[in-house]
């Protein structure tokens, strides 16, 4: 999840969130930080409601012995996605949730250093690619959500093409 501010004048599905006016980009990434699916919501939207639609967008086929797996095994997310209902729905789909528990700030844990998990680093790296390589995504100039989503999908495709050409 990353906040991307709107251009002058706003547009559809733009709202005031915790960090200001804009939209949120929700991205599901694989183990190396490569984006698999994206969705956008207003900045005041609920993050937890976006996990299952993102999972439904992913079509996964692995080439290993035996029958091919068509679903993810583990889902790692940050604290914003932590809820009992979310964990139960993921387990029902056969996915092991790897989500840290939300901890309320107290005097005991106030002085601890902030640790960023490996999975969170991979997510942040994906958002850094969006912001550094695709300036069109930094500020949402499009007034219609469909156009911005199309540019986001083009950026995802371009990241995958670059990855395939470098590896191959």
- Measure the CA angle with vertex 124, ends 77 and 5; round to 5°: 105
Alpha helices in 48-144 (DSSP H): 51-57, 84-92, 118-133
Which position has the higher pLDDT, 152 or 82?
Answer: 152
78-106 pLDDT, tens digit each = 777 888 898 899 899 888 888 877 766 66
Helix, strand counts (H, E) of the chain: 4, 6
- pLDDT the model gives residue 114: 55
> Alpha-carbon distance 81 to 67, whole Å?
31
**What 3-state class would DSSP assign to 58?**
coil
pLDDT for residue 76 is more than 90: no
Tokens encoding 87: 């964990």
- Measure the CA angle with vertex 5, ends 36 and 125; round to 5°: 35
CA neighbor of 97 nearest in space, from 89, 109, 105: 89
1-10, 66-75, 85-94: the lowest-pLDDT one? 1-10
- pLDDT the model gives residue 161: 93
pLDDT for residue 116 is more than 60: no
> Alpha-carbon distance 71 to 68, whole Å?
9
- pLDDT the model gives residue 150: 93
CA neighbor of 130 nearest in space, from 42, 34, 57: 34
138-151 pLDDT, tens digit each = 887 788 888 889 99
CA neighbor of 26 nearest in space, from 60, 5, 49, 7: 49
Tokens encoding 104: 């309320």
> What mean pLDDT is predicted for residues 142-167?
89
pLDDT for residue 157 is more than 70: yes
Which position has the higher pLDDT, 71 or 142?
Answer: 142
pLDDT bucket at 124, cuts 50 / 70 / 90? confident
- pLDDT the model gives residue 15: 78
């Amino acid at each position: 999840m990353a906040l991307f501010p709107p251009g002058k004048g706003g547009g559809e599905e733009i709202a005031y969130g915790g960090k200001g006016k804009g939209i949120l980009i929700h991205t599901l990434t694989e183990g190396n930080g490569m984006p698999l699916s994206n969705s956008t919501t207003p900045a005041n939207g609920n993050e937890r409601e976006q996990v299952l639609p993102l999972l439904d967008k992913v079509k996964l086929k692995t080439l290993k012995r035996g029958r091919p797996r068509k679903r993810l095994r583990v889902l790692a997310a940050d604290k914003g996605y932590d809820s009992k209902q979310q964990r139960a729905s993921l387990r029902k789909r056969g996915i092991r949730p790897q989500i840290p528990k939300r901890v309320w700030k107290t005097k005991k844990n106030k002085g601890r250093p902030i640790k960023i998990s490996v999975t969170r680093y991979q997510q942040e790296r994906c958002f850094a690619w969006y912001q550094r390589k695709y300036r069109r995504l930094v500020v949402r100039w499009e007034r219609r959500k469909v156009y911005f989503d199309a540019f986001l999908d083009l950026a995802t495709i371009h990241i995958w093409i670059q990855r395939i050409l470098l590896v191959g």
